[in-house]
Amino acid sequence: MPGKAFIQVILPLRLEWEPCYALPEGIRAKVGSRVRVRFAGQEYVGAVSAVDVTPEVDESRILPVLGIAEGLPEVRPEEIRLWKAVSEYYLCSVGEVYKAAYPALKIGQEEVEARGRERLETRLERLKEKLGKARKEETRERYQAEIEAVQARLQGRPAAGTAGTITLSPAQQKAADSIRKAFAAGKTALLHGVTGSGKTEIYLQFAREALARGKSVLYLVPEIALSRQLEDRIAAFIPDVQVFHSGESATRRRQVATHVRENDRYMVLGTRSALFLPHHGLGLVIVDEEHDTSYKQDAPAPRYHGRDTAIMLALIQGASILLGSATPSLESLYNADTGRFVKVDLKERFHAGEEAEIRIIDTVAERRKRGMVGSLSRKLIAEIQTSLDAGGQVLVLRARRSYAPSVQCTECGHIPKCSHCHVPLSLHKQPDRLVCHYCGHTEPWTGVCPVCGGSLQPLGAGTQKVEEELQALFPKARIARLDSDTPDTREAGIIREFAAGEIDILVGTQIITKGFDFDGLDLVAVLQADSLVGQQDFRADERAFQLLEQFRGRSGRRGQPGRLVIQTREPEHPVYARLEGGSDDNLLAERKLFGYPPYTRLVHVILKDSNEKRLDFLSRELRNTLLSAFADTDTPPAVVGPYAPNVDRIAGETIRQIRVTFPRNKALTALKRTLSTALSAFGKERRYAAHLTVDVDPV
């Protein structure tokens, strides 16, 4: 009689080990099989990570597998390798990565097909409308090619090859040749191309070449809205592009996963979650706007960075990786300086246009001479009118959504705050209400102070109020707003309408600064820019420069010069000087002087508790535990804290942080393991594990 067979299973739980299960007679499993098991009295679907294992406990205590999870796909070995790499680097459990990659989801195949067909039919109608409106012959040909590709998919036929011709300029071709050399040397290529230089054409050229070799392609963007604008553009050259992000229905996401799993080659356009699709045969991974902080997952675990995880994925798959940005992160520039990346410069704009002119408006000086009308200076109003008179379009950035970021009593000075968080409530209109932007708590807006009965008045202006002011100033203009209050169903429509010239002025939050391409845009304006540069964070200046430079690049496309107007109370800020030709050297030197990344590695240990006294006591105890754990190491990291972050209470829980700064050397991996072990032991001994989270490389 052969002995029992045992397997190791990854469960979608925060476990530090992979439980062992017995295979009953008649049930066979291999690495990647999905199995139903019982753990702590509940049933889960796990993924087999190892077979023929030798149990470390008494065999009689090992539970049997309940069965194979019928209808669920197997997990590829490469997927498990990626999960474990992410788990090790970001100090989380492999089960948490598995849960992110395979959320609890089971949908009938007929429903999948029905929804997918409905989506294709909607896209087909949209393309036919565009074809009817198109005037240029080349545009009509592009839309006709896309229509034929969609019709082929609806009829179950393969797409008739790629459409369209990609013609690179001499500058683009030179950059492409340098990228090929980097790939041949096994290096990550960092394409530093000014806004409007045609990075997308280079991406698509390499994507088509990879597909022609029978390889698959993953193209990452930081925001859903970007993928929606890119989808049709890419489809002109690669008709069967698959789109994957959280804005798609669960059914559609499952359909894309099935497509990836079952096809020998494919191209996926997606946000960071697309990294965890069942990839195979990848030849190229593209990370556009690699500097963007939207690539970082904040919660829940795994708290991974899309760019760095993409590099892990490419290494596992043996794929080339191409990062691109007009404003590369300092981390990527450091990696280029140290030889890990190869930096490729593309400094010519594709249509040979000049960079946008910059105009800084001092709002303090303007208010003194009555040069302000609400949130806008008379100088900016004149600039907007000039654009509208010339038939141009305008983007207005205000980095705060809502009607007003806070309200205050005119009698006693009281500022209403969220009862669950230590933050002021923001005033929203239509419907009128006070909203907490951290936990979502809402209160009715009465305009009456709850303390003294006085009058509550708005402080400052958010996007809703700016939109209202613009409508009053330019009554004949077509004005729209785009921020996180905009319904998902409306977001894509607003972007399409602005691109088609059906909107004259678009006001919004940071989303409007992303990599959109609008032909008619000649003026971009920033209101209250001090909210961008005045943050208490060592990355504040870098982020502000990246955002403003990206925003500047949105204007003046297609060979026409654009304009960037910045309204600020601090016109001499160094970020504005850097916009006008400064370098990254000072920022890097400052980071090195103060021991900040990229010269070190940061890990934030975050503690949350509804009991503030217990939190303060245990956070101090944890700091002492970490100091003891690192005491015997050769290069101990710096442990700072516990301290309260800027917002120290969210959703009824008080927050404390401990910052651990690791030297960037060969001991990094071992030191991170020491940290992980110390945190695990502390959580178990103090029964406090549920209150602890770890954020590696916070942004």
User: What CATH code is carried by the domain that includes residue 178?
Assistant: 3.40.50.300
- Asked if residue 523 lies in contact with residue 563, where contact means CB atoms within 8 angstroms, the answer is yes
pLDDT band at 249 (very low <50, low <70, confident <90, very high): confident
User: Rounded to the nearest 5°, which phi and psi values hold at 117?
Assistant: -65, -40
The verdict on 128 and 89 lying in the same domain is no
Eight-state DSSP code of residue 264: S
pLDDT for the residue numbered 233:
82
pLDDT band at 433 (very low <50, low <70, confident <90, very high): very high
Give kind and range of the element (H or E) at residue 553.
helix 540-554
Give 3-state DSSP helix, strand, coil % of the chain, rounded to 5. 40, 25, 40
pLDDT band at 59 (very low <50, low <70, confident <90, very high): confident
The verdict on 55 and 115 lying in the same domain is no
Mean pLDDT (whole number) for 86-100: 96
The verdict on 490 and 610 lying in the same domain is no
In a domain, 669, yes or no: yes
Strands 216-220 and 282-288: parallel
Cα–Cα–Cα angle for 182, 184, 187, rounded to 5 degrees: 45
Poorest-confidence range of 507-511, 621-625, 637-641?
A: 507-511
pLDDT for the residue numbered 322:
98
Segment 131-185, tens digit of pLDDT: 887 777 767 777 787 787 777 666 544 444 445 788 899 999 999 999 999 999 9
- Asked if residue 242 lies in contact with residue 266, where contact means CB atoms within 8 angstroms, the answer is yes
**Domain span at residue 674?**
599-696
The verdict on 267 and 131 lying in the same domain is no
The verdict on 542 and 631 lying in the same domain is no
The verdict on 568 and 482 lying in the same domain is yes
The 3-state DSSP class for residue 696 equals: strand
Domain of residue 686, CATH code? 3.30.70.360
pLDDT band at 263 (very low <50, low <70, confident <90, very high): very high
Greater confidence (148 vs 571) lies with 571
The verdict on 364 and 342 lying in the same domain is no
The verdict on 619 and 576 lying in the same domain is no
pLDDT band at 688 (very low <50, low <70, confident <90, very high): very high
In a domain, 421, yes or no: no
Beta strands in 258-319 (DSSP E): 267-270, 282-288
CA–CA separation, 179 vs 162, rounded Å? 23
In a domain, 426, yes or no: no
The verdict on 240 and 373 lying in the same domain is no
The verdict on 85 and 184 lying in the same domain is no
Greater confidence (109 vs 673) lies with 673
CA–CA separation, 81 vs 312, rounded Å? 10
Mean pLDDT (whole number) for 242-263: 89
- Asked if residue 12 lies in contact with residue 87, where contact means CB atoms within 8 angstroms, the answer is no
In a domain, 474, yes or no: yes
Eight-state DSSP code of residue 322: E
Domain end, chosen from 92, 126, 160, is at 160
What's the structural domain count of the chain? 5
pLDDT for the residue numbered 559:
57
Eight-state DSSP code of residue 59: G
Q: Which of 240, 241, 319, 271 is nearest to 82 (CA)?
A: 319
- In the predicted model, what is the mean pLDDT of the chain? 89
Eight-state DSSP code of residue 11: -
Domain end, chosen from 588, 621, 650, is at 588
- Asked if residue 95 lies in contact with residue 84, where contact means CB atoms within 8 angstroms, the answer is no
The 3-state DSSP class for residue 555 equals: coil
Structure tokens, 357: 């002119």
pLDDT for the residue numbered 161:
47
CA–CA separation, 578 vs 549, rounded Å? 10
CA gyration radius for the chain?
27
pLDDT band at 511 (very low <50, low <70, confident <90, very high): confident
Please determine, for residue 3, whether its predicted confidence score (pLDDT) is greater than 70: no
Please determine, for residue 124, whether its predicted confidence score (pLDDT) is greater than 90: no
Please determine, for residue 586, whether its predicted confidence score (pLDDT) is greater than 50: yes
The verdict on 399 and 531 lying in the same domain is yes
In a domain, 433, yes or no: no
Mean pLDDT (whole number) for 531-559: 82
CA distances from 81 to 13, 18, 173 (A): 18, 14, 36
Segment 667-685, tens digit of pLDDT: 999 999 999 999 999 999 9
The verdict on 520 and 539 lying in the same domain is yes
Mean pLDDT (whole number) for 66-79: 92
